[in-house]
C-alpha cells in the first residue's frame, strides 16, 4: 500500500507540474502533441518548463534531486533553459528552517549553540537534498578561533528515502522478470548499490571519515584542497569542517578574469579523477559543480577545492587492474585486447567470438578518437554502446555504477571548462605510467615488504623443521613433509613474483625506449 500511495503521489506531481507535456512535446508526431494540449486544459502551466521540472524534482525528494544534479552536469544533452534550472539543484534547494538546524546542533552536542560556537550564521550558505551548510566561528583546543562550515542533516530524510527505494526495488523486480534484458541489466543489484551509498550519505560521521581519507590521499598531489575535519564536533547529524574560500567552478568567466588557466584546470580534473580511481581505489563520487570550487588564494592559486563527501566509490585491486588494462588497450586502439578482457572477466559469455566483439567495439569507438569533447555526441555513443551490449549479452557490473556516474560528471565538467580538451590524450600517459608501476620494481618492492615479516620468521625455523622431520615416525613425517611442501610453495611464489616483476620492469623499459625511438623517427 505504501508503494502504491508513493506511486500515486509521483504521478500527481508529474501531472501537477506538466511533466507529461514535456515528454509528449518532445515527439514530432502531431497526434502526440495534440494529446499534450488536451491534457494541459485547466492546468496553470505558465511557469517556464525548466522551472517546472526543477520544482517537481524538489517536491519529489532527495533521490529525484540527485537525478537532477547528474543531469545538470550534461549541458550537451539538455536545452540551455532546462540545464540552467537543474543547476540550481546543486546547492540551491530551498533550505529548511534555521531554528530546526540549531535545534539539531544543540541535540547533537547537548549544549546551547552559543556554547559550541563563538558565532553562528543563521542564514545557510548552501542547501542541497540531504543537508544544508552554515558558516560559524569555532574556538579549537588551543584557544585559536577558526572559521568553519557546519553541515546539518535535513530532518525527516530517512522515511522519504525508504519509500522511494522500496518503489525502486519493486520496479527493478518488474524489469528483471518482464524484460528480455532483465537478468543482464541486474536492476536489483543496481538498486542495492544505490541503497548503500544513499544510506551512507545520511551519516555525517561517515562523510567526515571519507573526507579525512581523501585529504590524506591527496596531500602529495598539490592539485586539490580538502577541508580539515574537527572530530570533537562531529555527529551523525552534524559535521564541522574547515571553511574553504573559493569560486564555484561553474563561474568560468570569473575564474578566467582572475587569471586561472582554464585548460590546465580541465586537465588537472582528469588527473585528480584517475589518481583517485587507479592509484587509491577511493574516489569522490559526487563531483557535480556544486561540490567543486577553485582557490584564488595566492598560496594555492588555481587548485581545486572538493566539498561534500557523502558519496565515495571504492574499487578492489582486481577491479582497478582490469579497468586500467581496458583503458590502456582502448587508448592504444587495441580493440582485440578489449574484447579479450571482457571475455576473461566474465562480462560476456565465454562462447563469444573475439573477432565479432572486437569488430563491434571498433565500430563504436573508432569514430570518436582524436576529437575534442565538443565534437563527441555522447548520446550517440551511449546508444551504440547499449545496442552492442544487448547483442553480446554484456552483463551490467553493479559495483561500477558509481564509477560510471562519476565519469559522466567528469566528462560534463571537462566539456564546460574546455570543449577542446582531448580526454584520451590527457588520460593515456597517466594510465600507461600506472601500468608500468604495477609491473615494475615498485610493485616488486611492495610485495617483498608485505611478505618480509612472514619469511623473516620462517627461514630461521627451516633447519629445526628438517631435523624434527628426520627424527619423527613415518606418520608424523608425512604431516611435517606437507608443512615443508607448503613452505616451499610459498617460497616459490615469492621467487616467481620477483622474476615476473623483474621481467615486467625490463619489458617496460624496452617499450619506453622503442616508443622514444619511434617518436624521434
Establish how many alpha carbons lie within 13 A of residue 212's alpha carbon, considering only the half-sphere containing its beta carbon: 12
**d(Cα 204, Cα 211) in Å, to the nearest integer?**
10
Sign of CA dihedral 262, 266, 267, 271: positive
Grid coordinates of 181: 534484458
Residue in this structure with the C-alpha cell 600507461, named with its chain if needed: 432
E strands within 399-458? none
Helix or strand or coil: residue 122? coil
Out of 286, 297, 308, 334, which one is annotated catalytic?
A: 286
Distance CA 397, CA 318 (A): 13
Residue 46 annotated in active site: no
Q: Are strands 229-234 and 145-153 parallel, antiparallel or unpaired?
A: unpaired
Q: What count of residues does the chain have? A: 521
CB-CB contact of 347 with 318 (8 Å): no
The CA distance from 167 to 175, in Å, is 12
Q: Is the CB of residue 190 less than 8 Å from the CB of residue 260?
A: no
Name the maximum alpha-carbon separation found in the chain.
99
Distance CA 101, CA 149 (A): 13
CA distance 104 to 433: 48
Instruction: Please answer whether residues 214 and 312 qualify as being in contact, where contact means their C-beta atoms are separated by less than 8 angstroms.
Output: yes
| Plot region of 220 (φ>0 → left; ψ -120 to 50 → alpha; else → beta) | alpha
| Assigned C-alpha cell, 173 | 523486480
Query: Are 407 and 460 contacting, i.e. CB atoms less than 8 angstroms apart?
Result: no
First-last CA distance in the chain: 72
Q: Which residues are designated catalytic?
A: 286
Amino acid at each position: 500500500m505504501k508503494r502504491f500511495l508513493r506511486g500515486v503521489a509521483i504521478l500527481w506531481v508529474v501531472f501537477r507540474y506538466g511533466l507529461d507535456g514535456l515528454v509528449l512535446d518532445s515527439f514530432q508526431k502531431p497526434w502526440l502533441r495534440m494529446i499534450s494540449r488536451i491534457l494541459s486544459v485547466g492546468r496553470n502551466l505558465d511557469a517556464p518548463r525548466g522551472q517546472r521540472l526543477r520544482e517537481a524534482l524538489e517536491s519529489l525528494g532527495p533521490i529525484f534531486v540527485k537525478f537532477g544534479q547528474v543531469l545538470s552536469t550534461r549541458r550537451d544533452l539538455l536545452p540551455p533553459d532546462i540545464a540552467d534550472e537543474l543547476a540550481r539543484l546543486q546547492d540551491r534547494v530551498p533550505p529548511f528552517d534555521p531554528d530546526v538546524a540549531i535545534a539539531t546542533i544543540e541535540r547533537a552536542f547537548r549544549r546551547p549553540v552559543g556554547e559550541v560556537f563563538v558565532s553562528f550564521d543563521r542564514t545557510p550558505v548552501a542547501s542541497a537534498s540531504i543537508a544544508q551548510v552554515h558558516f560559524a566561528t569555532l574556538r579549537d583546543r588551543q584557544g585559536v578561533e577558526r572559521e568553519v562550515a557546519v553541515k546539518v542533516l535535513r530532518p525527516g530524510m530517512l522515511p522519504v528515502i525508504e519509500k522511494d527505494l522500496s518503489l525502486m526495488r519493486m520496479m527493478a523486480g518488474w524489469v528483471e522478470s518482464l524484460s528480455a534484458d532483465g537478468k543482464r541489466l541486474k536492476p536489483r543489484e543496481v538498486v542495492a548499490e544505490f541503497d548503500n551509498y544513499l544510506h551512507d550519505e545520511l551519516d555525517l560521521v561517515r562523510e567526515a571519515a571519507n573526507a579525512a581519507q581523501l585529504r590524506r590521499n591527496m596531500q602529495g598531489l598539490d592539485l586539490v584542497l580538502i577541508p580539515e575535519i574537527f572530530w570533537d564536533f562531529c555527529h551523525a547529524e552534524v559535521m564541522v569542517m574547515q571553511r574553504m574560500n573559493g569560486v564555484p567552478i561553474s563561474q568560468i568567466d570569473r575564474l578566467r578574469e582572475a587569471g586561472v588557466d582554464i585548460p590546465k584546470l580541465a586537465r588537472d580534473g582528469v588527473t585528480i579523477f584517475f589518481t583517485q580511481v587507479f592509484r587509491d581505489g577511493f574516489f569522490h563520487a559526487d563531483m557535480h559543480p556544486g561540490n567543486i570550487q577553485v582557490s584564488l588564494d595566492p598560496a594555492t592559486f588555481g587548485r581545486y577545492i572538493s566539498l561534500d563527501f557523502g558519496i565515495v566509490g571504492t574499487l578492489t585491486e582486481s577491479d582497478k587492474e582490469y579497468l586500467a588494462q581496458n583503458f590502456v588497450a582502448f587508448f592504444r586502439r587495441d580493440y582485440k585486447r578489449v574484447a579479450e578482457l571482457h571475455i576473461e572477466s566474465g562480462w560476456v559469455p565465454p562462447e563469444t567470438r573475439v573477432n565479432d566483439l572486437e569488430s563491434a567495439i571498433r565500430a563504436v569507438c573508432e569514430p570518436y578518437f582524436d576529437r575534442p569533447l565538443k565534437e563527441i555526441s555522447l548520446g550517440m555513443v551511449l546508444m551504440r554502446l547499449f545496442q552492442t551490449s544487448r547483442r553480446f549479452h554484456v552483463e551490467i557490473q553493479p559495483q561500477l555504477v558509481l564509477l560510471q556516474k562519476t565519469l559522466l560528471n567528469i566528462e560534463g565538467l571537462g566539456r564546460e571548462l574546455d570543449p577542446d580538451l582531448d580526454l584520451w590524450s590527457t588520460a593515456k600517459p597517466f594510465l600507461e605510467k600506472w601500468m608500468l608501476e604495477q609491473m615494475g620494481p615498485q610493485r616488486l618492492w611492495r610485495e617483498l615488504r608485505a611478505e618480509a615479516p612472514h619469511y623473516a620468521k620462517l627461514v630461521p625455523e627451516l633447519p629445526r623443521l628438517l631435523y624434527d622431520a628426520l627424527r619423527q615416525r613415518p606418520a608424523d613425517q608425512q604431516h611435517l613433509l606437507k608443512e615443508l611442501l607448503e613452505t616451499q610453495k610459498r617460497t616459490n611464489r615469492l621467487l616467481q613474483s620477483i622474476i615476473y616483476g623483474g621481467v615486467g620492469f625490463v619489458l617496460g623499459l624496452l617499450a619506453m625506449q622503442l616508443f622514444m625511438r619511434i617518436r624521434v623517427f
